[in-house]
Amino acid sequence: MSGLCRANRGNNNWFAAYAYWVLRLRGFAKVKLLDGGRKKWEMEGRDMSQQVIDYRRTGFTMTGQENPQFRALRGEVLERLGVLRPPGRRTVPGGVPGREAGAPSPAPGAGTGAGHIPGAANVPWAQAANEDGTFKSADDLKELYARKGITPDREIIAYCRIGERSSHTWFALHELLGYPDVKNYDGSWTEYGSPVRAPVEMG
């Protein structure tokens, strides 16, 4: 499938990156992300339209090979923390400025408490973007993540609240920098922070 993926809002490609990640997970190989998204498009004064396009309904069967290696589930995160078995060497970047990594916002569906997954490195998604919404250069991205110990030899799981900001992080690490073992935990804090007795760190 060849196409252009962009969000219907700004947010420096949060949701476009989420859509991109879902398509790649489900086996689509030819997917592109508009660097800068709608924000840069508007800043450049490009044409916009409010026309609602009526697409004819069609049938479609997915035939591509899925990519489960792009997705982390809660059980895997707990395994890496040593809750279910001895820990691996996995780092979990995530979070937003002004809150702990993975800490819930007041939005519906947030986890039951504040805090973050133990051992998480807080690398807010916005730090990977320039003012116009485009991604920073490869060198700047490598430096950004390396400062928090996130390097290509590590196993990496990205998470946020519901998996959309972490998709932005996954895109930067896996698709732009080519780090080989990067997963997005789309259950994120909404799932992880809700069950009783899941290990949580504060501060």
Query: Which distant-in-sequence residues (6+ apart) come within 8 Å of 183 by Cβ?
Result: 69, 70, 71, 72, 76, 156, 157, 158, 170
5 is catalytic: no
The residue count for the chain: 203
Phi, psi of 20 (to 5 degrees): -60, -45
Hey, what are 139's tokens? 């060198």
Of 78, 160, 162, 172, the active-site residue reads 160
Question: Which residues lie across from 91 on neighbouring strands?
Answer: 156
In angstroms, what CA-CA distances link 188 with 47, 81, 141, 185?
A: 36, 15, 22, 5
Active-site amino acid positions: 160
